Structures are given as C-alpha cells and as structure tokens.
Structure 1
Amino acid sequence: MTTLEIVWFLLICVLWIGYLVLEGFDFGAGALVRVLGKTTEERGALLRTFGPVWDGNEVWLIVAGGATFAAFPHWYATLFSGFYLALFLLLVALIIRNVGVEFWGKDTGARWKSRWEWAIVVGSALPAVLLGVAWANIAGGVPLTDDGEFAGTFWTLLNPYALAGGVTSLVLFLAHGSHFLALRTEGELHARAVTLARRLAPVAFAVVLAFSVWTLARMDGIEPLSAVLAGVAVLAAGAAWWRALLGSEGWAFAGSALSVAALFASLFAWLYPNAMAASEGPALSLHMAASTPYTLQVMTVVAAIFTPLVLLYQGWTYWVFRRRVAVDPA
C-alpha cells in the first residue's frame, strides 16, 4: 500500500467523522423537535438552533462521497451498488428533512407546520439509524465475491450487529442533539432540554459501552488502536453524562461530540487496511480499490488548497450563529 493511499483513507475517515459529529447533533435536534417543542413558537425556536448550519454540515457528506469516488472507485462502486436501497432510503430521508426545514415557515397553518415537523422528525431519525447500520456492516463484514462485489441482499445488511450499530448511532445522536439544544436555547425551552439531556446521557453511555464490547468481541484478536478508540468513546459518553448532571452544557456537548468521533473512528481503525471487510469471501483492500498514483497526487494538491478555505468558512458560520435562541412571542 502506498503512502497516498493511506493518506486518502485517513482523509476520508476525517470527513466522515466530521460529518457524523456535525450532522449528529442536527439529526438529534431534528428528531427531538416534537418532543421538546410544546407550541409552534417553541418548535420554531428549535429549528432556528440548527437551521443556519445544517446545509454546511452536509458539505462533509458530499465531499466524503466525492473523495471516495475519486480516490477509491472500487470501494465506491461496491458500496453504492451493494447498499443501493439503504443509501436510497438515506437520500430520501435527508431530502424530506431538508425540505421540511425550509418549508416549515412558508405557511402559518397549524396543519402545514405539523406535517413538516413530522417530516423533520422522521427525516432526522432514519438517517441516524441507517448510518450506524451502514458503518457497522462495512467494518463488521458483508458477503463479497472474489472481485470485491457485494454478494448479499438488502436483508443481509439487517443482521443483529448492524442493527445494534443503528440503535447505538440513533441514541448517541439523540443525546448529542439534546446537549446541543441545551447549549443553544434559553428560558423554559432550555430547562426542558437540560432535563432531557440528563435522561438521554446515561442511555447513550450504556449503548456505546454495549456496542463497543460487542465490536471488540467480534475481532479476530483485539486491534489495539480500535480498542483504545472504543474506550475513549465510552469514557467520553460517561463524561458527557457527568457534565450534564453538573450543568456544564458546553463540556457535555464536547463529550458527546468526542464520543461520536471516537466510536466511528474505532470502526475505521478496525476496517483498515481494507475498504470493505468480508463475512464471506476475500475482503476488498484499500490498495485494490485505489485510483492511480497520479490521480491521488492531483487530489492531494486540490485538497491542500481548498480544505482550509472550507473550514474557515464553516467556522465563521458557527461564530455568527453562536448566540442562544429564544422563543418568539405568540
């Protein structure tokens, strides 16, 4: 395996982790809109907490997909053909959620707003589950042919370990979103978000611990880096719970963000040096899936120029919309 192949695998991992951390609180907050918001005005305030940033967060997904296509085309082909139905459901859910955020305020009718609120809830919860299922399958292994093609069906993806990954990502994102809402709201809505965060944090700690133990138990010999990262994920989830109980909202949110990042990083560490692990047949290695050295060289130059610009722009966006959101008077 060449140095550039390793570099681009790491970059793709960073892009996916960035997406999961940032969209993780979007998904969690969106799924909780009808839980925390008791009135139209409160639900509008909840939407304003992540409304200005969700589209910027999705840039990470687009870039991760594009980078995978360019750097590891065989990985992209196997993933997007074998997981076609699951990825189609993910795309539909994202479209529904995003349209709901944009259309919610286009009419003042209660029925109109209620419909789009439910669209946001479903469109936030479903991707949270599907992403966990997908990465648990990619790292845990799926049936592959000798050519590295997916040899299973949609139902193959719904195995117990993958479903546990989906439940884990959903619960973790809900807790992550509740910490975000506690950090971004004020008044009665803030008090409600704090209470919910304190209830969800121990559940997130429990599922992250259980899934991490199961992941380590599935390995053919413990992968040291993966084990360390899984331990960090568990400790960070516990720290988020502890800080939420103390009322330290910023640190609780940081803990949940670290837990999301470390949990998925542990899966990536387990996956390396493969692009797709195999439960049957040979695994698809990164070297087999990679583009030509020249392609990777050009991509590296482009990434070195534009990545800092994207990060600066997104950082500026978060700075502009950093203040807490209040409920508009009825």
Structure 2
Amino acid sequence: MDLAVLWFWLIALTFTLYFFLEGFDFGVDVLRPGLARSEAEERALTGTIGPFWDGNEVWVIAAAGVMLSTFPVWYGAVFDGMYPLFVVVLLCLLLRGVSFEYRNQVRHQRWRSTWDWVSFGGSVVPSFLWGVVMAKLIEGLPITPDGRVEPGIGFLFTPFSLVGGVTTLLLFMLHGANFLLLRLDTGSPLHARARTAALRWGALATVAILAFVTMGYVTEGLFESFGVLPWLFPVAAFATLASIWWALVQRRDVMAFVMSGLTIVFATVTVFLALFTRDEVLPSTLAASSSLTLQGSASQPYTLYLMTWVGAIFLPLIVGYQIWNYRVFRERVRPDEGALDTGY
C-alpha cells in the first residue's frame, strides 16, 4: 500500500478513536448538572470517567502529531485556517483537566460548584467545536493558489458547520448517557435518570444527525463519489440510530453503547472517506485548483517510511495500555461509595 494512503487512514483511525472515547466522557460531563441531585451523585458521575478521561485525550495529541509528521501541508492549512477554534478547544481541555484535580481540594460548596461548571463548559464547547471542524474539512477553507488560507473567522461558522457542531454535541451526550448505563450501579436512581437522558437526548441526536446527513447530501454532494448508491449512507445512519432506541427500550445497555459508538465511528469515517474519494484532504472554497490533494500534502517517502516504524512500535503500546486501563476499572460505580474510591 502507498504509505501516504496508509497514514491518511491512520490519521482517520486516531480521530475515530478520539471521538469514540472522548465522546462519552465529554457526554458524561455535559449531562452531569442535569443528572446529579447530591454531592455523592456528582462524585459518582465524575468517578465514572475519572480513570479514563486523560488517557482518552492521548488520541487527539497523537492525531495532531501524526498529521504534522506525515502531512505537514495539510496540517498547516487546517491549523492556520481554524486556529481560533483549536485555541479555544485547547484552553477548554486545560481548564477541564484542572477542574478534575482542583474540585475536591477545598471542602466548600461554592468552590466545588465553580469547578463543576468549568468542567461542564470545558466539555460543551469542544464537543460543539469538533463538529464544526469536521464539517469544515468537508466544506473546505478559502485556500489561495499559494497554499495559504485567507485570514478571517466568519467563514468557519456556516449553516452546515453549525449543524455539525450541534450534531457532535448531541451525539456525545447520547454516547455519554449510554456509557453511564454501563458504569453506574443498576439499582440506583441515578442509573434510571441516565436511561431517561439517553432516550431524550437520543431523540434530538437523531434529528440532528439526519439534518447533517441531508445537508451534506444536498449542499455538499457528500456521498456522490463514494462508488455506492448515494442513499445507502443516510439509510445506514437512520438504521443505526433506530437500533439505539430499540436497545434502550429493551434495556440492552451494552448494545446501546456499542451502537452509539458505531454511529460516531461511522460519522468520522464518512468524513475521511469523502476526502479520500475526492482526492482532496482539504477542499478550497476559492478555486478547485487550490484544493490540497493527498499526495501533494504528504511528507517525503523517507519520512513516511520512518513514521511507519515509529507507529508500528508505539500505537500498539497505546492501545494495549488503554485496554488494560478499562479492564482494571471495569467495576460499576455506586453513588454512595464508588466515587469516593476514585479520588474524584
């Protein structure tokens, strides 16, 4: 296989893993103010993601590092054109991490409430902005013939990108609620409220995803070059979402979590598949000739060869560590005692 193609799909893999894993811990944080009724429940909800959230963020660091090493031109254009969004996302992730560590350092309700809301905002904003970023990868940026992105911020927020942001936010909330069904003690009222939240936000997520798919199909020609029947992908998205609703009603929590995760995987892969089939890693909204192509944005063959050996060594180590981490902390959390054991 061509190494540029290999690394393009490895970048897609890192983003997919990031959205799958970080999606549920973002979702838990967004849902927490509406689910918790006491300090014990606040700690329980934070405790469900306490052992995992920082490990999940490894994948976005890996994605950025791999893009810089293997596709520097693509990396430069994306981070140049959407620099304000990435700065906001980075600040939110920093504040979110600080909130987890600082929340219980002072036994004062106002102190804890402040950091709870910081954590909430640090999850809502990135959840929304990541959808904007993914939509703009499809929609394109104003790239000039010399490969630069015209300055500005208004072009980042279009109807399509805003719908993309709302879609990722709602989908992460659904994924987070499904994760709570696996992590919380099944006999607790908090578990019942998590199921209600999954049904409620799942309905809204369904509407948002179908709107995003429809807009992508109509305005962006999202599925025209996939080499299959164009309606196959919208139908598959609807079938996946319908299976989540069925699993929740039937109380098949594992299936509900798997299907919401597959929806995230499907959506992320669709974005990269659209770029790959067009042979444009980043379209230009100014002129098609200015779009960045896969081969034209890749590093030199020796760099790609060297990165292949680096990836072969370290990617399995990261995956193995995360599998071990999830296995160690697989027990359910009880609001009356489980969260206290996590340190959060």
TM-score (norm 2): 0.92
**2:302 corresponds to 1:294:** yes
Partner of 1:211: 212
Partner of 2:57: 58
Find the residue that maps to 1:279 and give its secondary structure. Answer: coil
Deviates more, 1:225-234 or 1:296-305: 225-234
Partner of 2:248: 244
Whether the 8 Å CA contact 1:234–1:259 is kept in 2: the answer is no
Partner of 2:317: 309
Distance 1:232 1:15, change over 3 A: farther
TM-score (norm 1): 0.96
Partner of 1:30: 29
- Alpha-carbon displacement from aligned partner over 1:10-65 (angstroms, at most 9, x marks no partner): 00001001000100001110111111011111010000000100111011000000
* Distance (whole Å) between structure 1 residues aligned to residue 92 and residue 146 of structure 2: 31
* Distance (whole Å) between structure 2 residues aligned to residue 244 and residue 48 of structure 1: 23
Find the residue that maps to 2:281 and give its secondary structure. Answer: strand
Partner of 2:280: 274
Find the residue that maps to 1:170 and give its secondary structure. Answer: helix
Partner of 2:161: 162
* Distance (whole Å) between structure 2 residues aligned to residue 203 and residue 225 of structure 1: 30
Partner of 2:239: 235
Partner of 1:324: 332
After TM superposition, where is structure 1 displaced by more than 6 Å over at least 4 residues in a row?
none
Q: Which has the higher contact order (CA 8 A, sep 6+)?
A: 2
Distance 1:230 1:69, change over 3 A: farther
* Distance (whole Å) between structure 2 residues aligned to residue 231 and residue 287 of structure 1: 32
Whether the 8 Å CA contact 1:53–1:317 is kept in 2: the answer is yes
* Distance (whole Å) between structure 1 residues aligned to residue 199 and residue 53 of structure 2: 24
Consecutive unaligned residues of structure 2, counting only runs of 5 or more, are none
Partner of 1:253: 257
* Distance (whole Å) between structure 1 residues aligned to residue 227 and residue 254 of structure 2: 28
* Distance (whole Å) between structure 1 residues aligned to residue 216 and residue 272 of structure 2: 12
Consecutive unaligned residues of structure 1, counting only runs of 5 or more, are none
RMSD, aligned α-carbons: 1.6
Alignment of 1:54-133 (within 5 A): 54-133=53-132
* Distance (whole Å) between structure 2 residues aligned to residue 231 and residue 103 of structure 1: 45
What amino acid is the match of 1:288?
G
Matched length = 329
Distance 1:13 1:229, change over 3 A: farther
Whether the 8 Å CA contact 2:81–2:141 is kept in 1: the answer is no
* Distance (whole Å) between structure 2 residues aligned to residue 86 and residue 225 of structure 1: 33
Whether the 8 Å CA contact 2:226–2:273 is kept in 1: the answer is no
Whether the 8 Å CA contact 1:274–1:284 is kept in 2: the answer is yes
**2:178 corresponds to 1:179:** yes
Whether the 8 Å CA contact 1:100–1:119 is kept in 2: the answer is yes
* Distance (whole Å) between structure 2 residues aligned to residue 322 and residue 213 of structure 1: 38
Q: CA deviation at 1:88?
A: 0.4
Q: CA deviation at 1:82?
A: 1.5
